[in-house]
Structure 1
Amino acid sequence: MRNFLFTILTISLLSCSQKEKERFDIVISNINQIQIENGDIATKTVFISNGKIVKITNFDSIENYVAEHKINGKGKFLLPGFWDNHIHLRGGETLIEENKRLLPLFIANGITSVRDAGGDLTTEVLQWRKDIKNNSLIGPTIYTSGPKLDGKDATWAGSLVVESSNDINSALDSLQKIPSDFVKIYDSKISRDNYLEILKEATKRNMISSGHMPFTVELNEAVFSGINAIEHLYYVLKGCSSNEKEITQAIINKEIGFWDSMEQLINSYEDTTAQKTFTLLKNHDTYVVPTLHIGNVLSYIDEVDHTQDPYLKIIGPGIIDTYKGRINRALNASNEAKKSRKELNTFFKKLSKSLNDAGVKLLAGSDSGAYNSYTYSGISLHKELEAMVNAGISPIKAIQASSLNGSKYLKKDSQTGTISVNKASDLVILNSNPLLDIKSTRDIYRVIKGNQIFDPVVIAKQYDCSECFIINH
């Protein structure tokens, strides 16, 4: 009888103990967590449930929990999922499926969020965003501007035409109804006055803005009007010229054009003026998107043979066909124009480092998408990080320009962007340390998005292009 009671008591205690164990969807144990805010590394165990990080401990007490999926992180490195802060999903109805097929490439490359900087597939993008959230489509979280704002006869299809104050209000109303995550302004036909008024009105509405900048506008005017991010470095270069006012007036008078002004801007670059501009950008919390990788590709497209690029096996023929325009323009340019383009590209690398050194917040973005020749979805973000490091920016600062700064710019940093309790479990596990070699951002073991765990090798097999995912250190 005594033995029987002892047995019952033991079973009861074990049952209670089992019930007390916490249950988690995913546990990543004993991993080198890189603190993205400062680059510190510490061994942690990360607990995930319902698509969020719910606990982080310094050790793994396996007896205290039950995990549906457990990942042994020993010897590996954990970062927030990467962000590509400048992509394009575009090309019209005929390229809808080809754009959709690109989405898993971001996940295969550890990119869990992207910023779609304007296109003509807004309806489809919004549907893809829902499908991704519902786990019926593999892809990153998509933050989109919807259509770009520009003037009449705009360069890009699908742009909203702005020619008056009424147009501005109508355009911003329509973006808010989408709702878009930010306002993207393009500079092909937009007037100076309408450009500045868009920025002021967007600021009044608490809408986040970004864009190119017509050269009829001075950089400080755009900053004071409320622009939140400047896409590409041409416009920052303009604000670093001691002759910006004179060059701006010459463009207003149609005495020179955009490309004609580049040599003048470089020759009149003045460090004192540049530092004042950097301080202005920093004080107004204005982000800059350098897009160095696409600059490298386009500047040397006349010298580098891309016809054997492995990624051409993945990219759809319709998108590849859109590459022809830039390729032909580059190949048919004069020798002087080709030389000037390369010199400008070199200058932009120095400018990126100067911006970083001055404390201006950078956003890592690839500018991948249709029409942007040989700038491939997914892998180009890693090429951008490499380009930033090659320009003299530290690996941790380059990585911060991806997820940390991306989440802050879009005011999503309370939900994502760092490895913290109560934040989204959008994570990437690397086999090697990216702070020692930035190319290690490509050395991906697993990608976690919410409660889903992705193996890049499995995704790669879907594309039948294993060489596209080979890591070359």
Structure 2
Amino acid sequence: MLNRRGSYGAAIFLAASHLAGCADHSFDEATLVLLGANVVTMQDEAVLPDHMVVMAGDRIIAVAPSEPDRLPPGAERVAMDGRYVIPGLVDAHVHVLSDAEDAIDRAFPLLVANGVTSVRDMGSEMAGVTEVRNRMATGEGTVAPHVTAGGPLLDGTLKPWYGNLPLILEDPADVPAALADLESRGVDFFKVYDDLSPEVFRAIAREARGLGLEFAGHVPARVALLEAVDAGQRTVEHFGFSTVRDCVENPSEWFQRSITAKFETGYDAYYRVVESHWDQLDWEACAPVLAALGRAGVAFVPTLDMELNDPSRFDTAAITYMLPASRGWCTTMIGNIDSADEALRERAYASYLDAFRRLRESGATVVAGSDTPNNCVVAGFSLHWELRLLVEAGLTPYSALRAATTDAVAATSRERLAGAIAPGFEADLVVLAGNPLADIEQTRRIEGVVLDGRWLDRGRLDDLLQRAQAAAESGS
């Protein structure tokens, strides 16, 4: 993947340059055209009625009023009949590359069938990352999203349950060689994690700049949030206790209480901790921190669906696409959540979503990410649950879509011309039955996907779902 150097602003300028000349475009090289569409370009909130999106290979070459007579006879034409076309969606937080076979046979088909044409993998074993790329380069798994990968978690303490996922860095002197090795193996960025020491974290920031790569991830427990942002951390993952620990007394104690409650005492106790934490937060003390985040342009990937774990807010039927072990764990978790006091659960959720609204009001950019396959988060499906939650938390449907298109690309893959529908941009599109700007639930009513300029109709998407289902049933 690219995501090495560059500017998303420059990409938009380039697209505008293409757009300025599109009125005189001959369309002679067109290979695929979507005709008669309501086009949601995501460059603003306007919908372009009865327009055509003209593609040549894997690029958009024109967006113009539908004029089929101007098209070459060899171009594939697909009648939209007033359907809505949006850019391909981006899931900015997944973990799907450690097992190459599972990625290609299950996760990738699920993502594409749900209109997710780009993902940022936020931590997978390097061997899996390499194998997936090698297999895709040879043509295996060609129905796959664009992948930006960070490789292993960079952490300071070995946690047995993570297996080979982390790369442990305890000494700043070890950082240059470790990061240079990962860069030589093709990572697109570096993923920082919870237990890095401040000294190692600063060394990572310094070496990443020298290599021309960004770093993103968790804010380590011993590093202040503003220090991480000042050091250049591109995105902050998850909206939870750690996000606001600079605004609360004894932050590590709150986190430990939540873990103990969830896994030892039960969800009633957990929801009491969550409600108490957000309700007692010193928002006056937090205001300068949040304002600084907004000014810095930091992007937050809140993973609301993973954080809330609310079965009433996601489609439990989709868990059949999970691997058996994950499915069993998820089913148990749903049972534990459902047995908890519903009123208490709703109060905890309300406190959490109110806190997220305050973060949003600070001006911080929000980017959509699911954290699949953690908890009950299912590849592809879960991004639509995330969009629904973003709207529930106060974003407009347009802003939520930006979080999964233009803003997601700007935060994760700056060199790419993607995330909008305009000449010069990548030909990754999703065709919807209804208007997502009026109802965000319309993103789930997918009638077709364009991936790298290839048209995948509803029947082809259903085939991908069947392939993923078979892989899930035969997996472990």
TM-score after normalising by structure 2: 0.79
Shift of 1:67: 4.1
Shift of 1:257: 6.0
CA distance in 2: counterparts of 1:199 and 1:400, whole angstroms: 28
Decide whether aligned partners of structure 1 residues 203 and 112 sit closer, same or farther in structure 2, where only a CA change above 3 A counts.
same
Instruction: Give the aligned partner of residue 292 of structure 2.
Output: 280
**2:417 partner letter:** Q
1:259 counterpart (256, 259, 274): 256
Instruction: Give the aligned partner of residue 416 of structure 1.
Output: 418
Runs of 4+ in 1 over 6 A off after TM superposition: 261-264, 338-342
Q: Does residue 290 of the first structure (1) align with residue 327 of the second (2)?
A: no
Deviations along 1:74-97, whole A, 9 cap, x unmatched? 31111110001111125x6xx543
1:74 counterpart (68, 81, 99): 81
Instruction: Give the aligned partner of residue 5 of structure 2.
Output: none
2:449 counterpart (447, 450, 461): 447
Instruction: Give the aligned partner of residue 36 of structure 1.
Output: 42
Higher radius of gyration, 1 or 2: 1
Q: Does residue 57 of the first structure (1) align with residue 61 of the second (2)?
A: no
**1:448 partner letter:** V
**Aligned residue runs from structure 1 range 24-423, under 5 A:** 24-43=30-49, 44-89=51-96, 95-101=99-105, 102-120=107-125, 122-129=126-133, 131-132=135-136, 136-137=140-141, 138-154=143-159, 155-157=161-163, 158-187=165-194, 189-234=195-240, 237-238=243-244, 241=247, 243=248, 247=250, 251=252, 256=253, 258-260=255-257, 266-297=278-309, 300=310, 309-320=316-327, 323=330, 327=333, 331=336, 345-369=349-373, 372-412=374-414, 414-423=416-425
Q: Provide the secondary structure at the position in 1 that maps to 2:255.
A: coil
Shift of 1:321: 5.3
CA distance in 2: counterparts of 1:167 and 1:277, whole angstroms: 32
Aligned-residue Cα RMSD (Å) equals 3.3
Decide whether aligned partners of structure 1 residues 414 and 99 sit closer, same or farther in structure 2, where only a CA change above 3 A counts.
closer
Shift of 1:275: 3.3
Deviates more, 1:390-399 or 1:195-204: 195-204
Give the gaps of 5 or more residues in structure 1.
Answer: 1-19, 468-473
Deviations along 1:172-230, whole A, 9 cap, x unmatched? 1122112212211121x332432343234323433211111233322112112221111
Deviations along 1:1-59, whole A, 9 cap, x unmatched? xxxxxxxxxxxxxxxxxxx9714110112211113132111132111112101122223
Shift of 1:443: 0.9
| Maintained 8 Å contact 2:238/2:307 | no
Q: How many residues align?
A: 425
Decide whether aligned partners of structure 1 residues 413 and 268 sit closer, same or farther in structure 2, where only a CA change above 3 A counts.
farther
Q: Provide the secondary structure at the position in 2 that maps to 1:408.
A: helix
Q: Provide the secondary structure at the position in 2 that maps to 1:215.
A: coil
Shift of 1:152: 3.2
Bigger RCO (CA 8 Å, 6+ sep): 2
Deviations along 1:414-462, whole A, 9 cap, x unmatched? 4211111111101111111011111100111110011211124433245
CA distance in 2: counterparts of 1:247 and 1:339, whole angstroms: 27
Instruction: Give the aligned partner of residue 473 of structure 2.
Output: none
Give the gaps of 5 or more residues in structure 2.
Answer: 1-25, 259-272, 470-476
| Maintained 8 Å contact 2:111/2:380 | yes
**2:128 partner letter:** E
TM-score after normalising by structure 1: 0.80
Q: Provide the secondary structure at the position in 1 that maps to 2:96.
A: coil
Q: Provide the secondary structure at the position in 1 that maps to 2:111.
A: helix
Decide whether aligned partners of structure 1 residues 456 and 357 sit closer, same or farther in structure 2, where only a CA change above 3 A counts.
farther
Shift of 1:259: 3.1
| Maintained 8 Å contact 1:215/1:258 | no
